[in-house]
Every structure is written in structure tokens, then in C-alpha cells.
Structure 1
Amino acid sequence: MIALDVYSDFDRANILITGGLGFIGSSLARRLVRLGSKVTLVDSLIPQYGGNLFNIHDIEDQVRVNITDVRDPHAMAHLIQGQDFLFNLAGQTSHLDSMKDPRTDLDINASAQLSILEACRQHNTSIKIVFASTRQLYGKPDYLPVDETHPIRPVDVNGINKLAGEWYHLLYNNVHHIHACALRLTNTYGPGMRVKDARQTFLGIWIRNLIEGKPILVYGDGLQLRDFNYVDDTVDALLKAAITPTANGEVFNLGSREYINLKDLATLMVELYPGGNYEIVPFPGELKAIDIGDYYSDYTKAHQTLGWSPQVSLRDGLQHSLDYYIQHHAHYW
């Protein structure tokens, strides 16, 4: 755990978190409350997305909650005023949903981002913004690990729209001098993630299946490589990006020293939850078409510029996650 005084900039700071009732947003809010921040959470609580009031059950009296859609430009223009930091985490994360309903993905991941930045330009140019982007915009890797100079070739609508949202932030940093940077998140997991389905991360439904006594379904041959970040490590990256001046106008990959194929990951989870099992099954056609194959990140730039590196091992993070849902599954199923 990082010493709290490293983050003294957040003491009594005004913080706005979009997607604040979601998985990462609520974890970030919990940390910021500990750091003495005055935190406002914005979330639409649209059922198919990740917002869940239980995610803040332990800090609900220490944060302000505004049930608002980031697609509402008037609400966002009001909320942005007086804020010192904006952690812009709201987004449509399902790759499959983006292919079925591309217009909604465009509205949330691109158009709304432009509206938020315009609100900053008009009402609060001194704000610092950290935008949650995604590794999905790289597409199928040409080489591994993937660094920030890798070609960008999104394989789905979500990747294209997230790229637009990311580049709007960089443009407003470079042209309008609104300090902003972007973190390209890889598979983030931990307590509070959506487990109703695979819209947010496949690990969520894997954990639910384990606890419900159903097999984990591993698509394809199970040899696809992936890397993962426990949510506490992702929160550290967001905080470090917010207070590092040389991060402005930059993009950073997150990632891990550990990477693992999905079959071995399923084996590890069954080991952590005895009695569970997994099955290797064919890829559904709609998922196979947008699968990116092997992927893991090179996070050297984040380490060198932000001083960030992941601290929580995959085994420990998975155990924490399983323990959480064993105790609290009634609030997430």
C-alpha cells in the first residue's frame, strides 16, 4: 500500500468521478475519502451498466451522489464547476453490445466525452482530467508485450469510440490547455465488478459460475494469453496520473508482470474454489469475430513517468475477489 502522504494533493480537493457507482469508480471513491477528498459521484444506474449502490455502502455518508447520465450536457456543465479533478470513468464497456447497438456506444463513449470536455472549456479550465481508456483499441497485437507505439486497429465499435473519446481528451489538453491524460486499462478485476454477465469483464461471470456450482466456460482452445490488474492497483495508477504534471497530454498502458492463458487461469480459479470446474467450448461466432487473440501490455512508460507498477499478485487478487462475492453475492447476482 502506498503511503497516504504521497497523495496529499487530494486532501480537501474537490473530486468528480463519472461512473462513480461502478466497480472502479467506487473503489477510487473509497480511496479518495480516506485521503480527505470531497467526492461527488455521477452515475446513471442504467441496469445493463456497472453502477451498484451497494458498491458504496460503507462510504455512502461520506460522498455526494448525483444520479445523472453523462449524456446530459446541462447536468455535466453544472457538476464540473468548482472541481479540482475529474476521473472520467463512465463508459459503455461491452464489446458485443457495441456491435449490436453502435449508436448508444457512440453517444456514451465519444459524443458525451466531447460534451464533458466542452463543459470544462467553458466552465472550469483549471481542472485535471484522467480518462479511462482501453487496451481494446490496439486490436490484434503485432507483437507482445504491447507498448504505446503499437499500431491502433480496433476490431469493434467500442474500440473505435473509446479511441475517439481518448483523443478528444488529448486534443483539449494540447489546444485548450485543459490538463488531461488517458490510461489504457487492461482486464481490471476485484470486489464490486459486474458479475451478472460478461459485459464488464469475463472474470465476473467466471466467479459467479464458480460460486453457483456451474462450470467456467473457456472459449476456443483456452491458450489465449491475458494480463490482469487488481482494482487497487488500477486506482493507484489513476491517482498517480492525476498528480503527475508530465502525464498531461500522454497515454499510458496499464498491465502486469504476470500474464496467463485462459485455461491456466480457469485452473487457478478452480484451485482457489475447490469443487469448481471448467469446460473448453467453441467460440460463439459473434465473439470470435472480435477476439484479439493473445494480449498483454508493456507498462514501462507508466512505471517511468508515473512511478506506477502493480503490487497485487493474480492469485491474491482472485482470492480477495472470490471471498468478497461469497460474502456479498446477494447484492450482485
Structure 2
Amino acid sequence: MTDYRDKRVLITGGIGFIGSSLARALVAQGARVTLVDSLIPTYGGNLQNIADIRDRVTVNVCDVRDRFAIEYLLRDQDFLFNLAGQTSHMDSMSDPKTDLDINAAAQLSILEACRTVNPGIRIVFASTRQIYGKPDYLPVDEKHPIRPVDVNGINKLAGEWYHLLYAKVYGIRACVLRLTNTYGPGMRVKDARQTFLGIWIRQLIEGQPIKVFGDGTQLRDFNYVDDCVDAMLIAGVAPQANGQVYNLGSDEVVNLKDLAQMMVELVPGRSFEIVPFPPERKAIDIGDYYSDFSLARTELGWSPKIDLQEGLRRSLAYYREHGQHYWDAQP
């Protein structure tokens, strides 16, 4: 792709897991990339994520809740990949106000800044499959009823609807990608705030049994981070994406017990155990979930390329080499 060569690109959450992978791909295409990240320790930002491209990107440490800083940074940008967010479902329940401020109010502020200082910008907003809640049917397509089961899902839904509203009313060229379980190098592994696969990877490397909540029969689909990045890059330049919502997902669906078995087989001598759901997690668990991403396949020509076993191998290799930067390190 040459669509991003010499283009100015701003990535919120740019030192986080997906943001840093996106930055790497854009740098390779010759884009002029600015990364915005708060580097708040409980979120996903980690400077190790950009160690290999640090001299080829501009880094601005600020919070998306700082509307004056964001307005300044948005001037003259060609693209905004709006990835910053509070991702922990549990944290959203214990601290709903912060989740509201980051995932809803700050998104409205960002869009107001775009409308005011840069209405020609193109935006890709990272939303989540969590907004659907417990599925009525599988696979879940974009027409499925929306019933979030936690504060995070409600606020992410507000964030995405602000983007769609500004696209319709003000002509801001924005689209929404509803991400499923994304994993790979750079994901948070010190706890399960970002994805449970991160803590599973850590348990595997440290020789602890992987802990599978529930009975292990819950179905999930997964996207390796490079596939997620590809979808974002395509959506950013596809005119048909403007004002649209797309699920990401995979044809490879696996239950959590089989996933744990797949992972322990990658490291001989490791094991997993089935443990009861903690009550606070059980209350917001959505049961089985996997996506129908045929709209993205048909309209954007996107489909995932990295199978689950290969993606897990790459992730394990990365954390075996760089784990010391992620276990308990601050940004």
C-alpha cells in the first residue's frame, strides 16, 4: 500500500499494543506518524512497544481528556486512528466515571476538535465486540441487537455513535471497527486488564498453570494484531467505509479449554486448570461469542491471514525475549 506515504497520521493510544503495531506498519509505508499516549501505568502504553521505531515517530505524552492538547495535535493531520481507551471491563465497573471520561466524553471532545480545526481528516475508531453483550445468535453480525453488559460496553458504544453522528451530520470521514479478541506482541501481560490471553502467556512462560474460568466451553474468535492493523489501514483509505461499522473476526473458532490445550502443547511440561468464575467476572461474562465479519470481507476485501497457532507461537517467542519489559515494568 502506498496510500499513506508522506501522509500525516495521528494515533491516539499510540504506545499501546495495537497502536504501536499500527505505527510500525505506517512507518514502513513512509507515513509521518505522531503517537499520543498518556502512559498511565494501568493502561497499555509501554515504551518497549516502539523501541525499534522510536527515532522514526513523534511522541507526545498527553491524555486524550486534554482537549486543548488534542486540538493542537489534530491540526494538519491527514488521518486519525483513534485507539485510546480504557479497556478493562472490571475497572469500568469499579470506576465508571473514569471509563465515561475516556471512552465517551473524550471521544466527543476529539470529534469537536476535528470539526473545528480539521474537518477533512479521515478517522478510524477502534470499538469492541463487547457492545453486543450476550449473543442472541452466532456468528454475530452488525445487525445484532446491542445490549452491553458492563459500563465499558456502554461508553464504547457512545464513543462509536459519536463518530457515526459526526460522519452523518458534519461530513467527517469516520468509520468504526468492532474488534474481537486481539492478541500478539505488545499486549499487556502483567494482568488481564487488556486481554486474558496476555496473562495466559505470562503463566505459560513462568511455568504456572493457565487458569481457565468457568467450564472452558466458552467459544471465542481471535485476531492476531497484524491482521487487525491491516483492517485499520484498509478502512482508513476506503471511501466506502465512511460512516460504516465493520466487525472484525475469524473463521477459526475455538473453546477456551481447547485454546489452553493448544497453548500448553507449545511449551512441553505446562498445564492448565479449570477454575470457578469469580462472582464479579461471572456477572458480566457474555458466554459464547464469535463474529460474522463478512461485511468487512465483502466491502473492504479484508480477512485474517495469521492462524491462531502461528499467532500464539509468535507471541510466545516475543515475550520469551522481551518479557522483562512487560512483567512488572512501568512505561
Q: Which residue of 1 aligns with 2:117?
A: 123
SS in structure 2 of the partner of residue 16 of structure 1: strand
Letter in 2 for 1:65: V
Deviation at 1:274, TM superposition (A): 1.3
Letter in 1 for 2:224: Y
Distance in 2 of aligned mates of 1:193 and 1:165: 22
For the pair 1:276 / 2:270, whether they are aligned, the reply is: yes
Q: Pick the aligned partner of 1:171 from 165, 172, 187.
A: 165
State the Cα deviation string for residues 150-206 of structure 1 (Å, max 9, x = none). 000000000000000000000000000010000000000000000000000000000
Q: Which residue of 1 aligns with 2:301?
A: 307
State the Cα deviation string for residues 80-127 of structure 1 (Å, max 9, x = none). 000000000000000000000000000000000000000000000000
Deviation at 1:9, TM superposition (A): 1.3
Distance in 2 of aligned mates of 1:225 and 1:44: 34
Q: Which residue of 1 aligns with 2:139?
A: 145
State the Cα deviation string for residues 232-251 of structure 1 (Å, max 9, x = none). 00000000000100100010
Q: Pick the aligned partner of 2:150 from 156, 174, 194.
A: 156
Q: Which residue of 1 aligns with 2:204?
A: 210
Distance in 1 of aligned mates of 2:268 and 2:325: 23
SS in structure 1 of the partner of residue 14 of structure 2: coil
Q: Which residue of 2 aligns with 1:261?
A: 255
Deviation at 1:273, TM superposition (A): 1.3
Distance in 1 of aligned mates of 2:249 and 2:3: 25
Q: Which residue of 1 aligns with 2:290?
A: 296
Letter in 1 for 2:210: I
SS in structure 2 of the partner of residue 86 of structure 1: strand
SS in structure 1 of the partner of residue 6 of structure 2: coil
SS in structure 2 of the partner of residue 279 of structure 1: strand
Deviation at 1:129, TM superposition (A): 0.2
SS in structure 1 of the partner of residue 63 of structure 2: coil
Larger mean CA deviation between 274-283 and 223-232 belongs to 274-283
Q: Which residue of 1 aligns with 2:58?
A: 64
Distance in 2 of aligned mates of 1:219 and 1:200: 16
SS in structure 2 of the partner of residue 323 of structure 1: helix
For the pair 1:198 / 2:203, whether they are aligned, the reply is: no
Q: Which residue of 2 aligns with 1:4?
A: none
Letter in 2 for 1:107: D
Distance in 1 of aligned mates of 2:105 and 2:57: 27
For the pair 1:235 / 2:229, whether they are aligned, the reply is: yes
Distance in 1 of aligned mates of 2:268 and 2:65: 44
Q: Which residue of 2 aligns with 1:17?
A: 11
Q: Pick the aligned partner of 2:105 from 107, 111, 115.
A: 111
Q: Which residue of 2 aligns with 1:247?
A: 241
For the pair 1:84 / 2:93, whether they are aligned, the reply is: no
Distance in 2 of aligned mates of 1:126 and 1:217: 47
Give me the TM-score of the superposition, normalised by structure 2. 0.98
Q: Pick the aligned partner of 1:134 from 128, 132, 138.
A: 128
Distance in 1 of aligned mates of 2:300 and 2:155: 26
Distance in 1 of aligned mates of 2:6 and 2:202: 38
Give me the TM-score of the superposition, normalised by structure 1. 0.98
C-alpha root-mean-square deviation of aligned residues, in Å? Answer: 0.4
Q: 1:92-103 to 2 correspondence within 5 Å?
A: 92-103=86-97
SS in structure 1 of the partner of residue 318 of structure 2: helix
Distance in 1 of aligned mates of 2:269 and 2:184: 21
Could you tell me which runs of 5 or more consecutive residues in structure 1 were left unpaired when the two chains were aligned.
1-6
Distance in 2 of aligned mates of 1:280 and 1:71: 40
SS in structure 1 of the partner of residue 254 of structure 2: strand
Distance in 1 of aligned mates of 2:44 and 2:140: 27
Q: Pick the aligned partner of 2:30 from 29, 36, 49.
A: 36
Deviation at 1:77, TM superposition (A): 0.3
SS in structure 2 of the partner of residue 10 of structure 1: coil
Percent identity, please: 72
Q: Which residue of 1 aligns with 2:322?
A: 328
